[in-house]
Amino acid sequence: MRAQVNHSLKAIQTAEQGIPMAQAYLDRNSTLPKLFFISWVAALLFCLSAPAFGQKKPQTPKILHAYCQAFEAQDAEAMAHLLHEDFQLLDVEGGLIVAGRADFTALYSRFFSRMPEMSVTFSIYQERGGTWIVEQELQRQPNAKVQKERFAFDFDEQQIYSIRYRFVTK
């Protein structure tokens, strides 16, 4: 009983100091404590995630697995979307990857360098007529068969290219 009196006195003093929430705090059916708790949790989550704003999300094994599945299935559109999600510097239009000319070599190297179980060597050159070719040798496991594949992409006047996936095993 004494504790209730002390609690009530404290609430009255708080109310007298100009905080009208004290009455709502004393009301057991009030949603104010719930709202306070929810807002506190939301603020905590925001503070924990704030350092990540503006930073690129690290690549997860889930994306790697999905990319490998798309690669195995030779699904160019799925690969394009996964690359777009991973690097966030490409636009995907109807299954084509569209990017600036200078981005592609760095992009390609960076993507495969994150896959330690895969060994990839590639070359980029231009054929007659302006079509650029990427040829790669890919080895998924240390003792696995080396696959040779070829991709084609074209530049337009603004030095933007679309990569058309062509899976050609030599």
Q: What is the 3-state secondary structure (H, E, C) of the chain?
A: CHHHHHHHHHHHHHHHCCCCHHHHHHCCCCCHHHHHHHHHHHHHHHHHHHHHCCCCCCCCHHHHHHHHHHHHCCCHHHHHHHHHHHHCCCEEECCEEEEECCHHHHHHHHHHHCCCCCEEEEEEEECCCCEEEEEEEEECCCCCCCEEEEEEEEECCCCEEEEECCCCCC
- CATH code of 61-164, in short, is 3.10.450
- For the entire predicted model, the pTM comes to 0.30
Q: What CA–CA distance (Å, rounded) separates 137 from 5?
A: 81
Q: What CA–CA distance (Å, rounded) separates 2 from 149?
A: 83
Q: What pLDDT does residue 138 have?
A: 72
**What are the tens digits of pLDDT across the range 93-115?**
433 344 444 445 555 666 666 56
Of 135, 109, 132, the closest CA to residue 122 belongs to 135
Q: Are 158 and 150 in contact (CB under 8 A)?
A: no
Q: φ and ψ at 122, to 5 degrees?
A: -145, 155
Q: What pLDDT does residue 136 have?
A: 73
Write out the two tokens for 121: 């060597």
Q: What pLDDT does residue 137 have?
A: 75
Write out the two tokens for 116: 């330690």
Q: What CA–CA distance (Å, rounded) separates 150 from 131?
A: 12
**What are the tens digits of pLDDT across the range 113-151?**
656 666 667 666 666 666 667 677 777 677 777 777 776
Residue 55 has pLDDT above 50, yes or no: no
Q: Where in the chain is the domain with CATH 3.10.450?
A: 61-164
Of 52, 82, 77, the closest CA to residue 65 belongs to 82
Q: What pLDDT does residue 4 have?
A: 52
| Count of other CB atoms within 10 angstroms of residue 100 | 13
pLDDT-derived band at 60 (thresholds 50, 70, 90) equals very low
